[in-house]
Structure 1
Amino acid sequence: MATITEPGIYDLTNEEYHADPCEPMSLSASGAKQLIQSCPARFIYDRTHSRGVNRNFDIGTASHLMVLEPEKFDSSVSIVEAEDWRKATSRDEADRAREEGLIPLLRKEIDSLQAARTRLWEEPLARMALTGGDAEKSLFWQDEGTGIWCRIRPDYIPKGGKRLFDYKTAISASPDDFGKAIYRNGYHQQAAWYLDGYAAVTGDRPDEFWFIVQEKTPPYLVAFYRMDPLSIEIGRVLNRKAIGIFKWCLEHDEWPGYVPEIGEKARFFDTQPPAWLVREYEEEMEQ
């Protein structure tokens, strides 16, 4: 595939997008989250090493195809006629499918994905959100402050681009569980990254970013979450920090591990008690 040298919206396959067609490399939302939550050494290792077989990744990719690009589902999936993956014959068949660029799925997994899609389309808000727009477009731009290449692949862009939608499957779609997952998994960074990226490429900033969350098991419950402005702003600040880390690492060709500050000499952390422990200590002292 040719190297991308101009900002814009491109029709790429999922594989082409994740292969990163920019030189020397570009930063995605997941990469920005990893630089903040982990360290550059982990980021660059994962970039340069195969992640191997990941059944959760297979199911997630197939789920997105079923919901967002159903016309591509049959040509992207290989059905393995087995009850489970315990037998060597089924695992060998899965390996052959992957060699052909296909996603190996058990029949019952496909049935589950179809049932989940049926349940999702029973929601009027889901039908409205995921109809009449564009799914899985790849957008590339150069960050104005640093010049580094960045990229996004929004799950769905409705006609007019006034809001962006991201479809996620989860063990629980409840407000309590997914509310915690937003900040644990850096979804507020993702929201800010996508809104800013879309604006950088098109010149128009979407008004909102939504998560459509569906549980992985029957009855495949669905919940909708509109990201609030403060969470997005916090995510934007973290993204600017990630971009700064990425730029430093590229310029110095160094990818440090866990250090207090990138580029500084200090190699250790000072511990600090959590707020709840301080409160307990102060209460005990008062007594």
Structure 2
Amino acid sequence: MVAHRPEDDEKKTALNVGDACHALILEPQRFEAEYAIGPDAPKNTKAGKAEWAEFEEALGDRQLLTFAEGRKVKLIRESVMAHPLARQLIEAPGDVEASIYWNDETTGRLCRCRPDKTLNDMGWLIDLKSTGDMGKFARSVADYRYHVQDAFYSDGYATHFGHQPQGFLFVAFSTSIECGKYPVRVFQLDQQARTQGRFEYQRNMAVYDECLRTGVWRGIESLSLPYWAQKEAS
């Protein structure tokens, strides 16, 4: 029997809801292919059991969202589309999840980024972000290094296309209700944040390049047997 790693169902649910929102907003076809919303039926009744049995038979490899989770995902999408600028960015012609390749100017290493959406006609890079608390989104920028992502993606776009993007926009949506609504805001980082992000990713690239050149990877420690376990090789 193969042992499976334990999973935190609460954390997994949060990740599912975040990705489901992302898919429903930007890639509705992927949402339909990868997610299924369970029926609003109790499993302790004959009719409910029958409805769930039919649903589970057709579920396949899709991720299950409870009826409540599905309702939440749809409400969040409606909230995003109710924000005038967010809706304009979502509906504007562009490439969704398209990879951009380039060689880093300092190290020469091949790099890749994959913006959530690239609006080539407008020159914008768009990234959707979920947050549990809109009031703490600035902290999330620092914690999850969104400023590094901004600078890395923007420089990659500039190297690939030969000109700087007009900007990098974060469309942030809350997964928690505030005053009866799911807040949605559009952010652009200031120059100080982007400059710091560029410094950090360039430092990371230098470390990566050094590891590739030397074959020595930081964080890997050398470990010897304790003295009492060491024996001379015969």
Q: Normalising to structure 2: TM-score of the pair?
A: 0.74
> How far apart, in 2, do the equivalents of 1:67 and 1:108 lie?
18
2:193 aligned residue (231, 237, 241) = 231
2:182 paired with 1:220: yes
Q: Secondary structure at the match of 2:173?
A: strand
> How far apart, in 2, do the equivalents of 1:65 and 1:214 lie?
13
2:60 paired with 1:103: no
Partner of 2:211: 249
Residue 212 (structure 1) shift: 1.1
> How far apart, in 1, do the equivalents of 2:6 and 2:22 lie?
20
Residue 81 (structure 1) shift: 4.9
2:19 paired with 1:61: yes
Q: Aligned residues, how many?
A: 198
Q: Secondary structure at the match of 1:121?
A: helix
Q: Secondary structure at the match of 1:73?
A: helix
1:171 aligned residue (113, 120, 132) = 132
**Aligned residues of 2:126 and 2:168 also touching (Cα < 8 A):** yes
> How far apart, in 2, do the equivalents of 1:172 and 1:211 lie?
15
**Aligned residues of 2:133 and 2:176 also touching (Cα < 8 A):** no
> How far apart, in 2, do the equivalents of 1:224 and 1:145 lie?
32
Aligned-partner residue type, residue 58 of structure 1 = N
**Aligned residues of 2:147 and 2:194 also touching (Cα < 8 A):** yes
Residue 142 (structure 1) shift: 2.0
2:83 paired with 1:123: yes
**Counterparts of 1:1-287 in structure 2 under 5 Å?**
54-81=12-39, 100=61, 102-131=62-91, 132-174=93-135, 177-218=136-177, 219-257=181-219
Q: Where in structure 2 are there 5+ consecutive unaligned residues? A: 42-51, 222-234
- Inter-CA distance 237–156: structure 2 relative to 1 (3 Å threshold): same
> How far apart, in 2, do the equivalents of 1:199 and 1:238 lie?
18
Partner of 1:20: none
> How far apart, in 1, do the equivalents of 2:77 and 2:147 lie?
26
**Aligned residues of 1:141 and 1:149 also touching (Cα < 8 A):** yes
**Which has the higher Rg, Structure 1 or Structure 2?**
2
Residue 249 (structure 1) shift: 1.5
What are the Cα deviations for residues 182-207 of structure 1, in whole angstroms up to 9, with x where unaligned? 12221110100110111122222102
Aligned-partner residue type, residue 128 of structure 2 = Y
Q: Secondary structure at the match of 2:121?
A: coil
**Aligned residues of 1:130 and 1:158 also touching (Cα < 8 A):** no
- Inter-CA distance 171–251: structure 2 relative to 1 (3 Å threshold): same
Q: Normalising to structure 1: TM-score of the pair?
A: 0.61
- Inter-CA distance 51–182: structure 2 relative to 1 (3 Å threshold): farther
> How far apart, in 1, do the equivalents of 2:75 and 2:125 lie?
25
> How far apart, in 1, do the equivalents of 2:175 and 2:198 lie?
30
> How far apart, in 2, do the equivalents of 1:240 and 1:228 lie?
19
What are the Cα deviations for residues 206-237 of structure 1, in whole angstroms up to 9, with x where unaligned? 02111111110231111121111221111101
> How far apart, in 1, do the equivalents of 2:203 and 2:17 lie?
32
- Inter-CA distance 201–159: structure 2 relative to 1 (3 Å threshold): closer
> How far apart, in 2, do the equivalents of 1:113 and 1:228 lie?
30
Partner of 1:276: none
Aligned-partner residue type, residue 205 of structure 2 = I
Residue 63 (structure 1) shift: 1.4
What are the Cα deviations for residues 225-270 of structure 1, in whole angstroms up to 9, with x where unaligned? 11112211111011110001111122223322299xxxxxxxxxxx
> How far apart, in 1, do the equivalents of 2:158 and 2:7 lie?
34
Partner of 2:48: none
Q: Secondary structure at the match of 2:133?
A: coil
Partner of 1:40: none
Aligned-partner residue type, residue 190 of structure 1 = Q
